[in-house]
Structure 1
Amino acid sequence: MKLSVLKIPLPKIDISKINITQHRRRNNPGEVPGTFFINETALPSKIFVYSYKEDHLEELAANDMADAINFTKNHRGYTHWIDVKGLGSQSVLDFIQKEFDVNPLVMEDIVHTHQRPKNEEYDHFMFVVSRMLELDKGLQLKNEQLSFLLFKDTLISFQEDYDDVLDPVRNRLRKNVNGNIRVLGPSYMLYALMDTVIDHYFTIINRLGDELEIVEDHLYQKPRKQLMYRIQGVKKLMITMRRGSWPERDKLNELLKSTNPLINEEVKLFLRDAYDHSIQIIDLIESMRETATSLLDLYLSLMSNKMNEVMKTLTIISAIFIPLTFIAGIYGMNFAYQDPKTGEILKDNMPELYMHNGYMYVMILMLLIAIAQIWYFARKGWFRD
């Protein structure tokens, strides 16, 4: 029974783009804690305000934080979500720090976007960090920090870029009248945003799983270096996801155990579900890392087998020509049968050199030896896969 492998075309992906976009630390050693500097590549801040209650929602694209705060003050009794996109406006960050009395160390962590997922509790607010991952068609992974400040009736979110994966939450907020997102306060909004980020991990894992399946199919067709590079690229993405998912699980566990009144007790039920999702993601990542490692081992094994086949072919060819070369070497010595000066017959030299049809006899002998060797190797099974 022959195993047939489908010939699936390999998607055209630039291997050099299988990479991760993230920021490195920019702090200088010895800086005073709590100081922060705006990255010159940071985008100017755009501010969006969502003020809502059970049956009503108001939205505002604010020009600055002063307009956003005035908008929330004009909607007392509402829950507010202030979404700050881009961290390039010093005035916006300074205003938030002064207006909400935020610890300078927290503002430093918001701006220096290399933080791991974590949860920190202060007297009147909570500071939460998540890692928001996005994967484009070329397997370019964007690793972005998503920070939250949770207050009694207000949630402020900070993100580096204008694009995100949070539109499902905005749509639920606009459509889900009297739903949990409208009723359970800012702590539920915090859960909803974190849960959306976590669920997007599943989308990325599914894409990487499809990539590994395509690579596996092509490995059996024809192992080549491009496949090895793609496996290594997927492993690199998995390592980044692992770095984000493990502390994400720990952060959710801390929120579940927290007694802070800013976390609604009803929300903890939903946080437990997000915690389960984070555990599933960790299990999937570990499983896929093992799969990628196995595929890499398979590639090396197939390449080794391919090399063995090449060496086997060369060995057979060499084995056939060794006796032929031996015969040719003997008759290439040209020891004369008769001394050209004295005419003496040298009986112990090569009489075959002057034999009638000697050349034909030697060629037939060499051909018979080659045929006999090929027959012998065939019986031994050397020509079988």
Structure 2
Amino acid sequence: MLHRHEYKDLVWVDLESPTVDEIRSIVEEFGIDTMVADELLSPTLRPHTERYGDYLYLVLHFPTLRKNKATAVVPEQEVDFIIGKNFIVTTRYEELASFVEFRKVFEVNAALAENHFPDNSFDIFLLLAKRLYRTVDVEIDEVRETLESIEAAIFNGQEKEMVVSLSRAGRDILNLKQALDPHQDVLSSLVALTAEFTGTEYVSRVRAIESMYYRSRKHITSIWQTLSELRETNNSLLSTKQNEVMKTLTIMAFVTFPLMLISSVFGMNTKILPIVGRDNDFWIIIGIMFIATFGMFYYFRHKHWL
């Protein structure tokens, strides 16, 4: 799907899952290199940035924790930027809310012909990049809120149920980290290319985007450490509970052992059995069992095992 927007001398073409015909149209209009055109047809494995003559080609992968229509987790979304002197082409393979919202902003300002709205392709790129990194911060905040809920549940006695929740949170943080890690090299290269492409005018603004990236990565490191602490705490509490259960079962086995032993002894098929056959022999045997059981309980209490 192709969305075309114009404002003064600037043209923005936003492609979503582009077709061959749509790619061919921008190749003819903007003189896009065939190698770049081929990359636009399908997602690229690794983020990168390059300069092709009078335009820059930039590929970034942004993490997303949402689910697609098939309810499968989509770990990241690719966004391609082609930044020319008076045009910018963006390519995506899924719908992104940041682009939908920015298209509306662009259309409104183009219709009103507001002079304060930027008419430079690099300005549009920077505005879109800021929105994308803010979306990453929203994703990070969602994971942080999830961890807070998990923490409350852990200390509310739901350690067993939180094992799966902790694993899912770990998967989300890992997706965030894996998607953002390659941005460091790409943004560093972009700073150098920006100086060549636009002069020093936009270098500081690209560094501001780079700072947003480093802040996001710092937050990811923070929530990863929180996850590790919660997982360790949860494992400790689970282990303590399991040990308490095993301790109780072991004590019960020791307590019932004298009862089984006494009942087995007096159930033996021998000619002579002490007590058996006397008056009140049943109550005497029950009394012996009771005294033995009480003695075991007293011993365990004295040792502070109960």
Which TM-score band (shorter chain)? 0.7 to 0.9
Aligned to 1:182: 118
Q: Residue 207 of structure 1 aligns with which residue?
A: 142
SS at match of 1:356: coil
What is the aligned length? 299
Q: Which amino acid aligns with 1:51?
A: Y
Residue 276 of structure 1: CA displacement? 1.0
User: What residue in structure 2 maps to residue 50 of structure 1?
Assistant: 6
Q: Which has the higher helix share?
A: 2
Match of 1:153 among 64, 86, 94: 86
Residue 11 of structure 1 is matched in structure 2 by none
Aligned twin of 2:154: 219
Matching residue of 1:371: 294
- What corresponds to 1:340 in structure 2? none
Superposition map of 1:310-349 within 5 A? 310-337=245-272
- Select which of 78, 91, 99 maps to 2:21: 91
Q: Deviations over 1:349-377 (max 9, x none)?
A: x3322222222112112112212222232
Q: CA 1:107/1:260 → structure 2, altered by over 3 Å: closer, same or farther? A: farther
Post-superposition offset of 1:197: 0.7
Q: Greater CA radius of gyration, 1 or 2?
A: 1
Q: 1:259, CA displacement in angstroms?
A: 5.3
> What do the CA deviations read for 1:292-343 (whole angstroms, capped 9, x no partner)?
2332333332222221111111111111111222222221213213xxxxxx
Give the TM-score normalised by structure 2. 0.87
Superposed CA deviations along residues 51-83 of structure 1, whole A, max 9, x for unmatched, are 24xxxxxxxxxxxxxxxxxxxxxxxxx222222
Residue 19 of structure 2 corresponds to residue 81 of structure 1:
no
Aligned equivalents of 2:73 and 2:161: distance in 1?
17
Secondary structure at 2:36 match in 1: helix
Question: Which letter does structure 2 place at the counterpart of 1:46?
Answer: L
Q: Residues of 1 paired with 2:241 and 2:38: CA distance? A: 55
Runs of 5+ unmatched residues, structure 1: 1-44, 53-77, 338-349
User: What code does the residue aligned with 1:268 have?
Assistant: V
Question: Which amino acid in the other structure matches residue 54 of structure 2?
Answer: H
The alpha-carbon distance between structure 1 residues 377 and 225, as it changes in their structure 2 partners (threshold 3 A), is closer
Q: Considering only aligned residues, what root-mean-square deviation do their CA atoms show, in Å? A: 2.5
Matches within 5 A, 1:281-292: 281-292=216-227
Aligned partner of residue 144 in structure 1, secondary structure: strand
Deviation of the 1:191 alpha carbon: 1.3
Instruction: Give yes or no for contact 1:47–1:82 (8 Å, CA) kept in 2.
Output: yes
- Contact persistence 1:119–1:127 (CA under 8 A): yes
What is the TM-score normalised by the length of structure 1? 0.71
- 3-state DSSP class of the match of 1:145? strand
8 Å contact from structure 2 (residues 15, 91) kept in 1: yes
The structure 2 residue matched to 1:121, chosen from 29, 38, 51, is 51
Instruction: Report the equivalent of 2:30.
Output: 100
Deviates more, 1:155-164 or 1:224-233: 224-233
> What SS class does the counterpart of residue 206 from structure 1 fall into?
helix
Alignment partner of 1:361 is 2:284: yes
- Show the counterpart of 1:72: none
Percent of aligned pairs sharing the same letter: 20
Structure 2 counterparts to residues 160-179 of structure 1, below 5 A: 160-167=93-100, 169-170=102-103, 173=106, 174=108, 177-179=114-116
- Distance in 1 (CA, whole Å) between partners of 2:160 and 2:44 is 33
Q: Mind listing any 5+ residue stretches in structure 2 that lack a counterpart?
A: none
SS in 1 for 2:4: strand
CA contact 2:154–2:162 (8 Å) conserved in 1: yes
Is the 1:191–1:267 contact (alpha carbons within 8 Å) kept by the matching residues of 2? no
1:352 to 275, 280, 283: 275
Partner of 2:40: 110
CA separation in 2, counterparts of 1:143 and 1:291? 23
Give the residue type in structure 1 aligned to 2:56: M
Match of 1:24 in 2: none
Shift in Å, 1:208: 0.6
Contact 2:20/2:41, CA 8 A, preserved across alignment: no
Question: The residue matched to 1:262 in structure 2 has which SS?
Answer: helix
> SS of the counterpart of 2:288?
helix
Contact 2:63 2:175 in 1 (8 A): no
**Residues 150-189 of structure 1: per-residue CA shift (max 9 Å, x gap):** 111111111113443135544654459443x515x11121
